[in-house]
Amino acid sequence: MKTAAPRPIAPGDRRVANIETAEFTPWESEENPGTDYLQLDPTRPPGTGFHIYRMGPGTQSDPHEHTGAEEFFVIEGELTDNDGTTYRKGDLVWLAKGTEHYSTTETGCVLAVYIETPERNL
């Protein structure tokens, strides 16, 4: 049985960005300058869905609560949670809905992140 060929993807239905050359959006927070993100789906609130989150050396994320689960993969660098847990390049992490934390990085890091719903700042 022959399968029908799929329709071509329309130009407006695909977005491609390279994390080495793309323009990131600064994370708008007075608490964590030096952090930014790259998100291709403009229909999602900033920092939700799948995105790349980048933290410069010596930066910190805002303390927050997850209103849905968070999953992230450490592409480069190291990230340390406020409880002392350190995530390194290659780590794949899941945090449950309702978890509260903030993260710091001495070296800087790049994460591939999936967050279901907007976080609540503490």
Q: What is the CATH number of the domain that holds 68?
A: 2.60.120.10
Asked whether residue 10 is assigned to any structural domain, the reply reads no
In the numeric block, which tokens belong to residue 8?
């071509």
pLDDT at 3: 83
In the numeric block, which tokens belong to residue 79?
């990230």
DSSP state at residue 11: G
Q: What is the mean pLDDT of each run of 10 residues along the chain (122 residues)?
A: 87 92 84 85 91 95 93 98 97 97 96 94 89
Number of domains in the chain: 1
The total of other beta-carbon atoms located within 10 Å of residue 16's CB is: 6
Give the angle subtended at the CA of 32 by the CAs of 108 and 37, to the nearest 5°: 65
Asked whether residue 15 is assigned to any structural domain, the reply reads no
pLDDT at 1: 72
